[in-house]
Amino acid sequence: MQNDGFRYADRIAPEEENVQVIDYYCSRYKHTDRDGWIRKITSGQISIDGVTITDPDTKLRGRELIYYRPSWIEPIVEGLTPDPIVILQEDEHFVVFHKPEGLPVLPSGDYLDTTLLHFARRHYRDKGNHNVASILSPIHRLGRGTTGAILFAKTKEASRKLNSSMQNHKIKKKYLALAEGIIDRDEFAIDQPLGPVPYPFITHTGTVFGATDEGKPSHSYVKVRRRDRENNRTIVEVEITTGRPHQIRIHMAWVGYPLCGDPLYGLGGIPNKRIQVEDRDAVPGDCGYLLHSWLLQFPHPIEHTVTSICCPPPHLLE
């Protein structure tokens, strides 16, 4: 999919006036090195209050700084249909979609229009509901390789109340996953903290989330659903009460049962480059594992009821 490019806007704070443009971008946006930012500036991709600049040493002044990224072709999502929107349940306040594998929820990296948010907003615009299209927003996240139920708010009031429910741990989320090995215990809790760990192949931060005692408290509760001894793997149900990035993938790897096909997280819950992806080192957004958002249960944002929604899993997780 070829997009129309994107304008990345920053407000110039009073304390940032007289900072050189090149220094501003290099200190804030480290996904691009200094030479890369110089090329963007000298090619006319930066403007201040609508005036294009081409000198990297230009000093900041005014109100708004814009970086325009020209149109680019986004990565292909294998198996994605032209209209990937599948609605599990909705009313005038919320909608729960069935997210397909490989589709990011939000724009990131080289994905701008190839996202669930973009397709969802297009769905409502095509129905003439431009107000919902402009307000629509996800209440939680799913990794690019994760499938299943994801909750969006359709109004500002619903967004406010559902986000409050999320922050107060009132939204129950259960997942199904396919793990390597045979897990003997029928059920158990995982409380290993998660946080940034070194991973030099992420150029702008040098880190990814992983198991670390210096991380944030993280809780997962695992139940075994079926043991596949012939193929040496186990289907598990995992409920999470915290929502750290890649939490289930990391926690299952930390206890010794990484998700089958996970290209990044191995024993110990740290990145160990388990699988080469297209002749490069794996990153968190790479797919290959089976992880499915199976059950969502949440207080209705307006009515005094509890809504429960199950999303049918892929056949390997049944």
Per-residue pLDDT of the chain (318 residues; tens, 9 = 90+): 899 999 999 999 999 999 999 999 999 998 889 999 999 999 999 999 999 999 999 999 999 999 999 999 999 999 999 999 999 999 999 999 999 999 999 999 899 999 999 999 999 999 999 999 999 999 999 999 999 999 999 999 999 999 999 999 999 999 999 999 999 999 999 999 999 998 887 767 788 999 999 999 999 999 999 999 999 999 999 999 999 999 999 999 999 999 999 999 999 999 875 565 666 788 889 999 999 999 999 999 999 999 999 999 999 999
Task: List, in order of start, the domains of the chain with CATH numbers.
Answer: 6-69 (3.10.290.10), 79-168 (3.30.2350.10), 171-287 (3.30.2350.10)
The answer to whether residues 234 and 224 touch, using CB atoms and an 8 Å cutoff, is yes
Residues with Cβ < 8 Å from 91, sequence gap 6 or more?
none
Q: What are phi and psi of 179, to 5 degrees?
A: -110, 150
Residues with Cβ < 8 Å from 74, sequence gap 6 or more?
1, 2, 3, 110, 111, 112, 113, 114
Chain segment 56-92, per-residue pLDDT in tens: 999 999 999 999 999 999 999 999 999 999 999 999 9
Written as six digits, the tokens of 277 are: 């992806």
In the three-class reduction of DSSP (H, G, I as helix; E, B as strand; rest coil), residue 316 is classed as helix
In the three-class reduction of DSSP (H, G, I as helix; E, B as strand; rest coil), residue 152 is classed as strand
